[in-house]
Structure 1
Amino acid sequence: MARPRLVPAVAAGAALVLGATALTASPAAAGPGGHDRPHRWVQKTLQQMTLEQKVGQLFVPYVTGATADTASPENLARFGVATPAEAVQKLHLGGVIYFAWSDNTQDPQQIAALSNGLQEAALAPADDERRGKKAPAVPLTIATDQETGIVARVGPPATVFPGAMALGAGRDLRATRDTYAITGTELRAIGINTDYAPDADVNVNPANPIIGVRSFSSRPELVADHVTAAVRGLQTDGSVSAVAKHFPGHGDTGTDSHSDLPVITHTRAEWEEIDAPPFRAAIAAGVDSIMTAHISFPELEPNGDPSTLSKKVLTGMLREELGFQGVIATDSLRMEGVRKKYSDEEIAIRAVEAGADVLLDPQQPALQYQAVLDAVRDGRLSERRIDASVRRILAMKYERGVVRDPLVKEHEVARTVGTPAHLARAQEITDATPTLVTDDADLVPLPAGSTLVTGFGATGVPALAEKLTARGHRAEAFTTGSTPTAAVVAEAVTKADAHDTVVVMTSSATKSPAQQQLVAALLATGKRVLVVAVANPYDISVLPGVQSYLVTYSTTPVAVESVARLLDGAIRPQGTLPVDIPSAADPATVLFPFGTGLTS
């Protein structure tokens, strides 16, 4: 495999993959470490590695800088060296993870150059080799969180999509596979060979503050089907390692694990029924890696430790019960959910003891690297245990083609990233996802007259107004933000008086009394109001009196374009709810059940 296979250029409407039959799981697939005879390269490389190099393979931190040679005080504080390239070499890093805030993802061309620079640093002769002892050349895992939708580190001109829950609303497995095939192909073209996606959580808690629309559905079987499609799209079509997350399941939390340790109260039987099926499906599909969750799950681990640090969960359940033989990666070790009980150094050691192979995004990479190294030298961790993880990591790199082809052709990036064919397919997929839950006010498509577009979204509100105007409608934009003040609400009401209809965008209005007040005030004008929920679909549960309600699941450009097409009558609504919408006052009462949607 000299080059990753590119998604073929196709016209909108054409399929990139076979139908649902192509998504049948292979019963023999068990991840990259599951083969009976490991690759000779893996064995030979492992034998040549020093302990320091082996331990380094477990670490995948972020590095700060737009280029491999960008000096940064933050790098100096975290690694003891100034540049990303020096950090890679000093700690013998197994990989890096890209973020926008660490200045890694400015644009596709810059990302490709950064990736090449980091790979060249990893492959450069080591000190041992310069002294005459041959050292193995091991390329990096270069990763990011490109779930699509609200979690996407690489934005336009790369192809964007509306996210997992939108795909769940579309109910089209081919569309999901194509979404992740295009995503993987474009990531690989800029040097990213691992995607921390798809999200395999089953979002059964409407109040979940961290998963929500990142999940495909509240139904385990639907999540499992789309996770399978996503894994095949990323790995088979895109030549990028997929990472299903967050094991053992983050879908029923009311707490954000970035800031605290959530507690899951499911019984073991409920876990088997609700949380486990998507992970079983991912394993059956041959997923390269599975990410842990920083959650307390007393039924599975009674000592209160997060699952990331639980040997019962990672080794006992994921490895032994579910039979996963691929790479286990922790969620970010900078998150408070895993840092409540132990020091950063202890966290790194305990994660390895639990069964983790990759220590992702550590808070103090140099200190934590040294802690793991010392734990091996002191006998707390055996070198055999480290070897087991390194073998799985090397196998993943080899089997996904990273060893054979670590560098990308920077001058060819534009041939793959954001191509007209990819953009057309993304829009076609998105057009089938918006869900018209109810339309008693008869506002889709928009009636004749003028329209005020208002509400949440500094880009979405003006973009929709502009798109409607371009289609011949009379539309005015007035952005109110996520927490409009009483004065802003009053101004929105004044503007509404000058129009025939109102389109108001909401985002997680269930947690925003100010947005609820805005919608109530607009309804009180007597104008016909269409509410467009651009995040979680549950907003209508706190918006009494709303007669017309549309859900887009994201504010990505393709989602806004789909709304404009719907309101103009160019397309008809096709999506159906992938979750129940319960009453806010009585969660046991379902207002709009799974499958609701006014479709043509």
Structure 2
Amino acid sequence: MKARLVTATALLATLATTVGPLPSQASAASTRSPAAAEHGWVTSTLRHMTLAQKVGQLFSTYVYGDNATEPTAADRAANRAAFGVETPAEVIDRYHLGGVCYFSWSHNLDSPRQIAALSNGLQRAALGDGAKGRVPLLISTDQEQGAVLRMPAPAAQFPGSMALGAARSPEAAYTAAQITGRELRAVGIRQPYAPVADVNVNPGNPVIGVRSFGADPALVAELTAAQVAGFQDGAGVTAVAKHFPGHGDTEDDSHTGLPVIDHSRAEWDRIDAPPFRQAIDAGVESIMTAHIVVPALDPSGDPATLSPTILTGVLRGELGFRGVIVTDALNMAAVRKKYGDERVPVLALKAGADQLLMPPDLRLARDAVLRAVTTGELTERRIDESVRRILAMKYRQGLARSPLVDVDEAVRTVGAPQHVAAVTRVTDATLTAVRNDVGLLPLTRADRSVLVTGWDSAAFAPIATVADGFAARGARATARPATLPSDALIAATAAQAADHDLTVVLVNKAWDTLVADPRGTQRRLVAALLATGKPVVVVAVRDPYDIAYLPGVTTYLATYSYTRAAMDTLVRALHGELSPGGRLPVTIPTAEGAGTVLYPYGHGLTW
């Protein structure tokens, strides 16, 4: 334990901080120590809160609209259907919400100016007329980067956890968290639901995958601690290590089913626990639960989110965590299977959770908790314990003193030139060349005809980005998106490839023919392109495992994400302008599995 604490302290002392001083934190208004000031504010605030206000502090959920008081007609209707009132401000006022979680689908995330203004509007609604018992909001979002990235451009878009695992750099992980956190803080978001502390030892994991730093517990622990430091000490926002007790070895998605982790207690201690232990040693202020069953930790069959044995016994008792426990979203199927929506929030609190995230029916959940206190199933003292932790976290973030943000400063901060430069620098170190059997790379000619095809994204346009990169270097480049193509599109794309000197094809979870690509269309597209006899470069823009399911591929790279920066790095590497430096942070098994390794952990080519 002491050795890990020393490591975390050394990390903080040595990591480069490239984007200027930390924004001001809350400080005591008197000569009292920070701890005394925090205790005083928390105690005074709690004393003036009604039970309804206390219970409201436990909940964090979405609201519809890009404006706190004047949402669109459609968003008014959505709020009315979900919450019984029309505006985000009214939702906060009615339920005394402790937090709001931003999403693009709820129309919260557009531009830095809009997001910052929305945050200020929501904070004004939470504080009302300044009466005692009113508390600033904790605004959150899922900004893991890479595959889970909520803030749109011009926000810094780093390549995500597994890419950072490929780079093997705590400094890069710290920088990514620091810049991400500072941009979020600038627009009023103080709780990014990151980093992911899960160890992805199962290549068939449908929900974690590239969201994890990798398959080695020591690497995941080191990078998790680095990001905790980057978010909290580098940016002044709350890191959230997730998903406890570890979601890395499952073949089920907790959004749609109830996963069971069959690790023995010894395996859990060796594989899943180290990242959470190191996050706690690094001072992580919040940990998110997983809706998974771990019989070795709790044989009851209850998901961890509802398990006193796991949350209170293991997380608080054995690991010594004293911060805020936030549930994963309570509208997910895994946590709703065994108990009804009315029981889940009460059981989560009894298990030891503090923040209740996104219940499917907020009114039902709120009323259930209030009723549990009235009947004695929950005590007000138990509610106070969680509210104290939440208030203390808000105080340490500076919300007690400065809940509002400077909108103009937000515009200057988000996407600042030094942030963009850092994204490029970090991304360049992540690209992993897995296969180059015929020595096709780096390319020696620029004046060639190139077809860029395969999986595409409307938000990031990776196909166009790669094609434009070739064109800028003198190639005759054609962009032909073919996301989950039909048989006719596969045939037409292959015919077009036959008329080009080179084809670059992007694939995304081609291994997953259960959910991501049920018809196996990406595999058939790659096979048809190879059958032309022309050179083909295959690029996995998400999970690196696809190569096992693409026989005949001789040139294969993994970018782990499809951000514009990742695609720019790819193009430059293909042309020999930079050398790939990433190494696989996972083992790639053969398609047959059964422990047979196709490419080992740490594999990576360069030129």
Q: TM-score w.r.t. structure 1 length?
A: 0.92
Helix, strand or coil for the counterpart of 1:320? helix
Residue in 2 aligned with 1:162?
159
Residue in 2 aligned with 1:98?
102
For residues 301 and 38 of structure 2, the distance between their equivalents in structure 1, rounded to whole angstroms, comes to: 37
CA shift in 2, pair 1:21/1:240, >3 Å: closer
| Range 194-203 or range 361-370, more displaced | 361-370
For residues 20 and 104 of structure 1, the distance between their equivalents in structure 2, rounded to whole angstroms, comes to: 33
State the one-letter code of the partner of 1:599: T
Q: CA RMSD in A?
A: 1.7
For residues 66 and 533 of structure 2, the distance between their equivalents in structure 1, rounded to whole angstroms, comes to: 52
For residues 318 and 472 of structure 1, the distance between their equivalents in structure 2, rounded to whole angstroms, comes to: 57
Which deviations, in whole Å up to 9, do the C-alpha atoms of 1:530-560 show, x marking residues without a partner?
1100000000001111111100001111111
Which residue of the other structure, out of 518, 522, 525, is the alignment partner of 1:515? 522
Given the alignment of the two structures, is residue 436 of structure 1 paired with residue 433 of structure 2, yes or no? yes
Given the alignment of the two structures, is residue 593 of structure 1 paired with residue 600 of structure 2, yes or no? yes
Helix, strand or coil for the counterpart of 2:121? helix
For residues 335 and 175 of structure 1, the distance between their equivalents in structure 2, rounded to whole angstroms, comes to: 33
Residue in 1 aligned with 2:128?
124
Residue in 2 aligned with 1:216?
213
Q: Aligned-pair distance for 1:284?
A: 0.5
Q: Aligned-pair distance for 1:493?
A: 1.2
Given the alignment of the two structures, is residue 548 of structure 1 paired with residue 555 of structure 2, yes or no? yes
Given the alignment of the two structures, is residue 318 of structure 1 paired with residue 315 of structure 2, yes or no? yes
Which residue of the other structure, out of 469, 472, 494, is the alignment partner of 1:470? 472
Residue in 2 aligned with 1:110?
114
Helix, strand or coil for the counterpart of 2:239? strand
Residue in 2 aligned with 1:58?
58
For residues 193 and 515 of structure 1, the distance between their equivalents in structure 2, rounded to whole angstroms, comes to: 39
For residues 172 and 593 of structure 2, the distance between their equivalents in structure 1, rounded to whole angstroms, comes to: 35
Residue in 2 aligned with 1:576?
583
What pairs with 1:231-246 in structure 2 (closer than 5 Å)? 231-246=228-243
For residues 297 and 504 of structure 1, the distance between their equivalents in structure 2, rounded to whole angstroms, comes to: 39
Q: Which 5+ residue runs of structure 2 have no aligned equivalent?
A: 1-10, 18-33
CA shift in 2, pair 1:508/1:406, >3 Å: same
Residue in 2 aligned with 1:485?
486
Which deviations, in whole Å up to 9, do the C-alpha atoms of 1:272-295 show, x marking residues without a partner?
000000000110111110000011
State the one-letter code of the partner of 1:41: W
Residue in 2 aligned with 1:31?
none
What pairs with 1:451-470 in structure 2 (closer than 5 Å)? 451-458=450-457, 459-470=461-472
For residues 599 and 324 of structure 1, the distance between their equivalents in structure 2, rounded to whole angstroms, comes to: 42
Q: Taking every aligned residue pair, what percent have the same amino acid on both sides?
A: 55
What pairs with 1:107-506 in structure 2 (closer than 5 Å)? 107-125=111-129, 129=131, 135-448=132-445, 449-458=448-457, 459-481=461-483, 483-506=484-507
For residues 345 and 417 of structure 2, the distance between their equivalents in structure 1, rounded to whole angstroms, comes to: 44
Given the alignment of the two structures, is residue 561 of structure 1 paired with residue 568 of structure 2, yes or no? yes
State the one-letter code of the partner of 2:469: K
Verify the 8 A CA contact 2:83 2:363 in the aligned structure 1: yes
- Give the number of equivalent residue pairs: 566
State the one-letter code of the partner of 1:551: A
Helix, strand or coil for the counterpart of 1:509? coil
For residues 551 and 149 of structure 1, the distance between their equivalents in structure 2, rounded to whole angstroms, comes to: 13
CA shift in 2, pair 1:489/1:18, >3 Å: farther
State the one-letter code of the partner of 1:547: T
For residues 16 and 576 of structure 2, the distance between their equivalents in structure 1, rounded to whole angstroms, comes to: 33
Residue in 2 aligned with 1:67?
67
| Range 361-370 or range 66-75, more displaced | 66-75
Q: Aligned-pair distance for 1:18?
A: 5.7
State the one-letter code of the partner of 2:569: S
Verify the 8 A CA contact 1:441 1:529 in the aligned structure 2: no
Which deviations, in whole Å up to 9, do the C-alpha atoms of 1:52-84 show, x marking residues without a partner?
111111000111111111261222222221111
Verify the 8 A CA contact 1:17 1:174 in the aligned structure 2: no
Residue in 1 aligned with 2:4?
none
State the one-letter code of the partner of 1:53: Q
Verify the 8 A CA contact 2:12 2:229 in the aligned structure 1: no
State the one-letter code of the partner of 2:602: G
For residues 199 and 66 of structure 1, the distance between their equivalents in structure 2, rounded to whole angstroms, comes to: 28
Verify the 8 A CA contact 2:53 2:133 in the aligned structure 1: no
For residues 21 and 186 of structure 1, the distance between their equivalents in structure 2, rounded to whole angstroms, comes to: 18
For residues 36 and 359 of structure 2, the distance between their equivalents in structure 1, rounded to whole angstroms, comes to: 32
For residues 336 and 447 of structure 1, the distance between their equivalents in structure 2, rounded to whole angstroms, comes to: 52
Q: Aligned-pair distance for 1:36?
A: 9.8
Which deviations, in whole Å up to 9, do the C-alpha atoms of 1:33-53 show, x marking residues without a partner?
x97996211111111111111
Which deviations, in whole Å up to 9, do the C-alpha atoms of 1:292-329 show, x marking residues without a partner?
00111111121211110000010000010100000000
Verify the 8 A CA contact 2:57 2:97 in the aligned structure 1: yes
Verify the 8 A CA contact 2:342 2:368 in the aligned structure 1: yes
For residues 106 and 425 of structure 2, the distance between their equivalents in structure 1, rounded to whole angstroms, comes to: 33
Which deviations, in whole Å up to 9, do the C-alpha atoms of 1:357-393 show, x marking residues without a partner?
0000111111111110111111110011001000000
What pairs with 1:76-91 in structure 2 (closer than 5 Å)? 76-91=80-95
Verify the 8 A CA contact 1:17 1:178 in the aligned structure 2: no
Q: TM-score w.r.t. structure 2 length?
A: 0.91
CA shift in 2, pair 1:48/1:402, >3 Å: same
CA shift in 2, pair 1:37/1:413, >3 Å: closer
State the one-letter code of the partner of 1:253: T
Residue in 2 aligned with 1:26?
none
State the one-letter code of the partner of 1:212: G
State the one-letter code of the partner of 1:360: L
